[in-house]
Amino acid sequence: MSDKISDMTTPTQLKMGLADTEEIQEKKKPELFNSRANKLDPQDRAFHDWYRFVLSFPPHLVRDYIQKFGLNQKSVVLDPFCGTGTTIVEAKLAGMNAIGLEGNPFPHFASSVKTDWNLDADELSTRARHSAEKALTIFKSQGIDDNLSFGNLKDLELKTLSPETNKLILTNSISSLPLHKTLVLFECLKQYEDESFYRHALLALGNALVFKISNLHFGPEVGVKKPKADANVISNWLLEIEKISNDLRRVAGKSFPETKVHLADARDLHVLEPNSVDAIITSPPYPNEKDYTRTTRLESVLLGFIQNKEELRELKKRLVRSNTRGIYKEDDDDQWISDFPEIQRIADEIERRRVELGKDSGFERMYPRATKLYFGGMAKHLYDLRKVLRLGAQLAYVVGDQASYLRVMIRTGQILGSIAQKLGYELTRIDLFRTRLATATKEQLREEVVILKWRG
């Protein structure tokens, strides 16, 4: 490891307190009230809500930093944790070249589709309606009316998931009849897998599946509400198709720069050209017990992006370790911050609290390690990032304070800023984006934007 940071520093030298970071905190109040700060404004609906994480950071925040950074159409913007593509969609709309990295295959797919505006809208609508007619014909032959709840399922052989894939999704996350109808429609679509409209049609099905067809709810964690006997599959899917088609019509005939989205680990940036990026606007995971793969599990499994436990394991290995459900024996990112005093103090405090409270489950025992692996993974990311940044590149990382691990406070933005400084970045400031109430501690937690600059 000692030769990896060359003349800068080695992972075991990442020692720094937080005094300097706290002094540089941005003191201005947020420009938007908390009730609006993280919302998708109606005028921002186009492209973004083809498929979007419930807690995705909003497009207006990306536009704010595009303006504050003074970016123009010659700038290249990277989001190394691109999720469902908020940054790269906004950069494309602004006429900039944008690159996204995402380790989770379904959000990666969604981001790549959301930035593909070359499809003819009328073709999408027409081909989708043909596929819908095929599915409805199959339903009719089985005695199913998609618009009416089915009375008796005893004599109907319904399509189901295999026992192996069924174990991957949340119990009761979709009822048997909506599942059957979704799988029938998916099989009809699969016949056109090599055609240009297929990817957009599949994303439309993914969005309808999560928000209209399934039993899922988000508040903010993903959960299962009271199962419903039936749901309209075809009509809800076609509504999503028309939403996408209308957005495509808005940009028809206009020229936009290319956007690239890589299925990749943000801690290994070999897919990017050296000295090629002018700006980063991103929101990495926070250190908590939120398994981000659960948020996309239903659509990932039903639409064929994850088919077994081995594929789920490989997916999790591509992600920064932010929760105990994604930690593996061989993980060693913590070596990057092994002598960082504030992180070690937090880990020790979590362990002390665990013993004091008598918390003894396997996951609770891993809380200290999860904390160190998270910040170690972010340090590795920031180290590897340096080679792809141009001199003067500006970076914005949206992160939040956390107290998920036995109510021990983790000031994520401050620590991330300190790690970045030790790796040679300039910590320009830390902006307050919004505050949110922690349900466990009743404290107001800060959600911040850590602003960095790379001067080489």
63-75, pLDDT tens digit by residue?
Answer: 999 999 999 999 9
pLDDT higher than threshold 60 for residue 31: no
Q: Which of 452, 278, 341 is nearest to 14 (CA)?
A: 341
Q: What is the pLDDT of residue 154?
A: 67
Q: How many residues does the chain have?
A: 456
Q: What is the pLDDT of residue 188?
A: 97
181-220, pLDDT tens digit by residue?
Answer: 999 999 999 999 999 999 999 999 999 999 999 999 987 7
CATH (one of 3.40.50.620, 3.40.50.150, 3.20.20.70, 3.90.850.10) for 39-48+55-103+256-283: 3.40.50.150
Q: What is the pLDDT of residue 2?
A: 35
Sequence spans of domains, the chain: 1-30+325-456, 39-48+55-103+256-283, 121-251
In this prediction, residue 22 has a pLDDT band, given cuts at 50, 70 and 90, of: very low
131, HSE (Cβ side, Cα atoms, 13 Å):
31
Q: What share of the chain is helix, strand, coil (3-state, %, to 5)?
A: 45, 15, 40
Which residue shows structure tokens 């609290």? 353
244-288, pLDDT tens digit by residue?
Answer: 999 999 999 999 999 999 999 999 999 999 999 999 999 999 998
Token pair in block for residue 113: 């589709």
Instruction: Give the mean pLDDT of the chain.
Output: 90
pLDDT higher than threshold 90 for residue 155: no
369-419, pLDDT tens digit by residue?
Answer: 999 999 999 999 999 999 999 999 999 999 999 998 999 999 999 999 999
Q: How far apart are the first and last CA of the chain?
A: 21
121-133, pLDDT tens digit by residue?
Answer: 999 999 999 999 9
What percent of the chain is modeled with pLDDT above 90?
Answer: 81
> Is residue 194 classed as helix, strand or coil in its secondary structure?
coil
Q: What is the pLDDT of residue 215?
A: 97
Residue by residue, DSSP assigns 41-88 as -GGG-TTGGGS--TTPPPHHHHHHHHHHTT--TT-EEEETT-TT-HHH
Residue by residue, DSSP assigns 2-25 as TTTTTTS--GGG----SHHHHHTB
Q: What is the pLDDT of residue 150?
A: 63
Q: What is the pLDDT of residue 13?
A: 43
pLDDT higher than threshold 60 for residue 11: no
Q: What is the pLDDT of residue 156?
A: 83
